[in-house]
Structure 1
């Protein structure tokens, strides 16, 4: 029972980790609410932010399932691992110079697009591959990834991941908006760029080793 729950807990944990990262949306939600002096604006931003993130992650999962039809799982895992490590290096060296910028007057569509681009630039979908790929493979008797057999698992993983991210983003956004304010970021917030890059490298190494 513990082993069967472990991958799903990892997927939820990654969702919480993504939600913790201010670049994934909660910082924008708070800034938007403060700019408009409206708690409603904070709540309104959650939907587009989470939708954009889910689209970015879903696109990666869909691509992996599609490639899994043509490529051997071992080769696919090694390729995905190499991409993850390369992405981590790019993010660490150049990522902070390529921030996607959007004004506080952005509408829901603009906010969704911003979230999609930010999640893609941070390799959020790639980070789920070491957990989701084995789960999808476990549902296939022949040991090969297929879209039909794996799509249900992939969608469930996407929903769990997105839900966990939403809970964390909502909790942090409302806490900062109501009580802490953005000034606390200058005093003690951890720079997550190094942690994020390390997580990408660890995920890539796990895929290559497996």
Structure 2
């Protein structure tokens, strides 16, 4: 099964310091037929930044408090004898090593929380027919053949059947809403939202 490149779907210019944009209201007034299709790359970027900032803020506060507690604890011990001081310094080194390990785990936790929030936001976004149609069209551009079979959630299949009359669409209620699988004679393209988020997760964890 061939997965599409992450950069084609998610974060072209990702900046974690940039403030997240306001999430579109779930009860948004339907778009007019002439309005341009939504930019799916912006949807991924906006959703991930929203989740990342929420998770990052929570864990940064927790980490700062842990460091402060350790500092206060060992500052009092440094008032003891020379031998106690040496022992305390050694203990601090060990404690710092433990904290570094915790920070590494915290970074991974932030990524997981951010992706969970991003997935929920994206699931709301793809309730919009134009959004899912745009995602499918972009995915089909990677197909090598004009003769393909498209597998999606059954509810999505009912919404898009008139938009893809020349393509065999297979609807399956067991598939998640964001599933987009394109089958060719000798190739399968998995452009599902969950797949893209998992690829993003692996990429971010490897970079951290």
TM-score by length of 1: 0.34
Q: TM-score, normalised by structure 2?
A: 0.34
Q: Which has the higher contact order (CA 8 A, sep 6+)?
A: 1
Give the structure with the larger helix fraction. 1
More strand by share: 2
Q: Which has the larger radius of gyration?
A: 2
